[in-house]
Amino acid sequence: MMARLDPYNPTPASRASRVVVMLLPFVIGLVCVLLSFVPVARIIGASTMPAFALMAIFYWAVVRPEMFPVYAVFVMGLLTDLLSAGPIGLWAFTYTVIYVLVLTQRFLIINVPFSVFWFAFLVTGLVEGVISWTVASVIYGALLPVRPVLAHVIVTAAVFPLFAFLFGRIERRILPAG
Residue 32 forms part of a structural domain: yes
Q: Give 1 or 154, the one with higher predicted confidence.
A: 154
* Whole-prediction pTM: 0.87
**pLDDT of residue 154 exceeding 70:** yes
Nearby residues of 152 by Cβ (< 8 Å), 6 or more positions away: 48, 49, 50, 51, 129
Residue 4 forms part of a structural domain: no
Q: What is the tens place of the pLDDT at every residue in 86-124? A: 899 999 999 999 999 999 999 999 999 999 999 999 999
**Mean per-residue pLDDT of the chain:** 89
| The pLDDT value given to residue 14 | 61
The number of folded domains in the chain is 1
DSSP string, 45-77: T-S----HHHHHHHHHHHH-GGGS-HHHHHHHH
**pLDDT of residue 34 exceeding 90:** yes
**pLDDT of residue 45 exceeding 80:** no
- Domain holding 119, by residue range, is 19-37+49-174
Q: What percent of the chain has pLDDT over 70?
A: 83
How many whole angstroms from its chain centre is CA 92? 12
Residue 9 forms part of a structural domain: no
Among residues 8, 28, 16, the alpha carbon closest in space to that of 166 is found at 28
**pLDDT of residue 82 exceeding 80:** yes
